[in-house]
Structure 1
Amino acid sequence: MMHPLFDAAAPIPLHALAAMAATLLGAVQLLLPKGGFLHIVMGRLWVAGMAVVAVSSFFILEIRLLGPFSPIHGLSLFTLVVLAYAVHAARRGRIAAHRKAMIRLYCLSLLLAGAFTLLPGRIMHQVVFGV
């Protein structure tokens, strides 16, 4: 069932697999206790995964609404900025700002944007629904 994804042009498989991993890791991260070693290690992995998702999106140019780009590229830029802000906030001890930014980023950049990948005609729709 994953063949439509693996048959897609690069970097789509990398982008999708990183997004799936970040979605799962983020969900676990939200459920685990905060502030300890495991939270920090998993958080770093999540940030790295999100950076891969965002950066790889700039090389996916199938939907061209603004020159070679689409609105999703704006979301990717937003994601990179918020990742940097949230990491900086955590390092400065501004935990409430860190938490708020990370939760919003997870919901907006992974869950909401991910839902759009399930629309008919998209690769992830084929993977999930077999159509």
Structure 2
Amino acid sequence: MTYMQLVTVHLATIIPAIFLGAYLLSQSKGTGKHRAIGKLYMSLMVITAGVTLFMPAYVGPQLFNHFGIIHILSFVVFFSVGRALYAARQGDIKTHRKNMVGLYVGGILVAGVFTLSPGRLIHGWLFG
């Protein structure tokens, strides 16, 4: 896939995840609806994190001429989703909640701030 195709897939997964995550954080927990939307949200986050691993970093230092500091967030997403899912299945709601809030804050809000940094594609589109 080209870089722009990867960007398209990334945006197609992260934009709905932004809204689904906000909805999940603001609504009643433990319902069938929460579980169903939560599975969709987690799936979108895993797909978007996976896609970003194929997108080279063009800003800041690189490892292996590809990975940048922002790629750490992709691995944080994988860990958080796995841990949150496991915790929910074990009935450990406190750990589930902690990982899901962290996933939203780190995987979406912090990454979004990085996206708006000068030299990044979305920054160029918005302010360019």
**Pairwise same-fold verdict (TM > 0.5):** yes
Superposition TM-score, scaled by structure 2 size: 0.88
* Correspondence for 1:124 among 101, 122, 126: 122
How far did residue 32 of structure 1 move?
A: 0.9
Structure 1 CA distance, aligned partners of 2:9 and 2:56?
15
Inter-partner Cα distance in structure 1 for 2:81 and 2:41: 10
Identical residues among aligned pairs (%)? 35
Which piece of structure 1 moves more, 30-39 or 62-71?
Answer: 62-71
Aligned partner of 2:47 in structure 1 is 52
**Contact kept in structure 1, 2:80 and 2:102, CA below 8 Å:** no
Q: How does 1:29-40 map to 2 (within 5 A)?
A: 29-40=24-35
Unmatched tracts of structure 1, length 5 or more: 1-7
Query: How many pairs does the alignment contain?
Result: 124
TM-score, length of structure 1 as denominator length: 0.86
CA distance in 1, matches of 2:111, 2:24: 19
Alignment-derived partner of residue 4 in structure 1? none
The RMSD of aligned alpha carbons is 1.7
Where relative contact order (Cα < 8 A, 6+ residues apart) is larger, the structure is: 1
Residue 55 of structure 2 aligns to a residue in which SS?
A: coil
The residue aligned with 1:105 is: 103
Runs of at least 5 residues in structure 2 that lack an aligned partner in the other structure? none
